[in-house]
Amino acid sequence: MAESMNDVKHRIASTKSTRQITEAMQMVSTVKLNRIQAHTVNYNQYVSKVKSVIAHLAQSDLLEDNKPSSQDSKNAKKKTAYIVISSDRGMVGSYNSNVIRGTNEFIEKHTPNTDDYMILAIGGSGADFYKKRGANVAYENRTVSDVPTYTEVQGIVKTITSMYNDGIYTDLYICYNHFINRISSDFRAEKLLPMDKDSIQSSMDEKDSGQAGSDVKVKNLIEDYDIEPSAKAVLGVVIPQYAESLMYGAILDAKTAEHASSSTAMKSATDNADDLISSLELKYNRARQAAITTEITEITGGQEALNQ
């Protein structure tokens, strides 16, 4: 059944209202994206220095003496934890589906047995997804802001690292979407714990590739040097800072990708609304023209009938 003119007119008004919403959401996401990108520039200067110190420690094999006692037992069952960073809201395009799909593929490859891993969810979408599927969600956080501060992440890091120190899990990976540009992102899964030379080098290779001015090169560093007051004291300060920097950087990166995805999705929705409005207006004008033509024909026919 053909739509009436009133139906088409109502659809035009409804689509215009939706367009106003999507356009406003696009503007908000763009503002958030610009803010977090400016925030990330300042963070990169700090984390570069932390990486340099950790690279020295890794090259000198000091990190090998930093395993918690709960992890030293050869008989301890290996348990892997995956930090999954997702959004707390929808309307972010394929952002959540990409990170969840990438995480599932990574888990299937490394720990196919569901009893051997747990999920540490940062973001409601990931937490809800894995809870519905019966996964072991050992930790979740839904309070990370759109432009997260370092203080926010410190609380998350302390909770997650204390779980590691208590032997709740033996290996830790962080899974998130890496921001490439405003229209694309790439899934990443990086090992955080335990820290060893290979995992740190791998992390630096991934994060520093393509970054101009990066001066962290483990293989060219001096292996032996004196430490004051002691290696243990230095590790006690630097290791938590490195863990915080990696996690904070991943959250910043993921949030940047989230805002970019949201902005792109809302722009696409706005463009689709424009196309639909144009199509409906054309349909409405044609229907109105046909109605006018019909009225003129009826009037002309009636006039001719009177003249006969």
Residue 277 shares a structural domain with residue 196:
no
Q: Please list, residue by residue across 65-84, b when 16 or more beta carbons sit within 10 angstroms of its beta carbon and e when fewer do.
A: ebeeeebeeeeeeebbbbbb
The label of the residue with tokens 């599927």 reads 133
pLDDT in tens, 56-104: 666 665 655 555 544 554 445 789 999 999 998 888 888 999 999 999 9
Q: For the chain, percent helix, then strand, then coil, each to nearest 5? A: 65, 10, 25
Contact criterion met (CB below 8 Å) for 12 and 277? yes
98 vs 80: CA distance, rounded Å: 21
169 belongs to a structural domain: yes
What percent of the chain shows pLDDT beyond 90?
Answer: 31
Contact criterion met (CB below 8 Å) for 139 and 163? yes
Residue 155 shares a structural domain with residue 237:
yes
For residue 10, give both structure tokens. 């109502």
Residue 157 shares a structural domain with residue 201:
yes
Sign of CA dihedral 153, 159, 160, 161: positive
221 belongs to a structural domain: no
Say yes or no to pLDDT of 197 above 70. no
Residue 33 shares a structural domain with residue 49:
yes
Q: Mapping DSSP to helix (H, G, I), strand (E, B) and coil, where does residue 248 land? A: helix
> CA separation (Å) from 295 to 5, 137, 292?
15, 68, 5
Residue 158 shares a structural domain with residue 28:
yes
Task: Give me the pLDDT at residue 50, please.
Answer: 72
Closest to 133 in 3D by CA, of 150, 143, 122, 121 = 121
Say yes or no to pLDDT of 176 above 90. yes
Amino acid symbol at 272: N
Residue range 130-146: average pLDDT? Answer: 91
40 belongs to a structural domain: yes
Please enumerate in sequence order all residues whose Cβ is within 8 A of that of 295, keeping only pairs 6 or more positions apart, or say none.
Answer: none
Sign of CA dihedral 127, 130, 133, 137: negative
pTM of the model: 0.78
Task: Give me the pLDDT at residue 200, please.
Answer: 65
For residue 123, give both structure tokens. 């973001």
200 belongs to a structural domain: yes
Contact criterion met (CB below 8 Å) for 85 and 66? no
100 belongs to a structural domain: yes
Residue 203 shares a structural domain with residue 281:
no
279 belongs to a structural domain: yes
pLDDT in tens, 228-251: 776 667 666 777 777 778 888 889
Task: Give me the pLDDT at residue 210, please.
Answer: 43
Residue 182 shares a structural domain with residue 278:
no
Range of the domain at 294: 5-20+268-307
Residue 234 shares a structural domain with residue 292:
no
Q: Mapping DSSP to helix (H, G, I), strand (E, B) and coil, where does residue 10 land? A: helix
141 belongs to a structural domain: yes
For residue 287, give both structure tokens. 């229907």
Q: How many domains does the chain have?
A: 2
Domain containing residue 294: CATH number = 1.10.287
Task: Give me the pLDDT at residue 308, please.
Answer: 65
Residue 45 shares a structural domain with residue 74:
yes
Say yes or no to pLDDT of 269 above 80. yes
Q: What is the mean pLDDT of the chain?
A: 80
Task: Give me the pLDDT at residue 93, please.
Answer: 87
Residue 280 shares a structural domain with residue 154:
no
Residue 122 shares a structural domain with residue 41:
yes
Residue 84 shares a structural domain with residue 141:
yes
Amino acid symbol at 75: N
Domain containing residue 248: CATH number = 3.40.1380.10
Please name the helix (run of DSSP H) or strand (run of DSSP E) that holds residue 192, with its range, or none.
strand 184-193
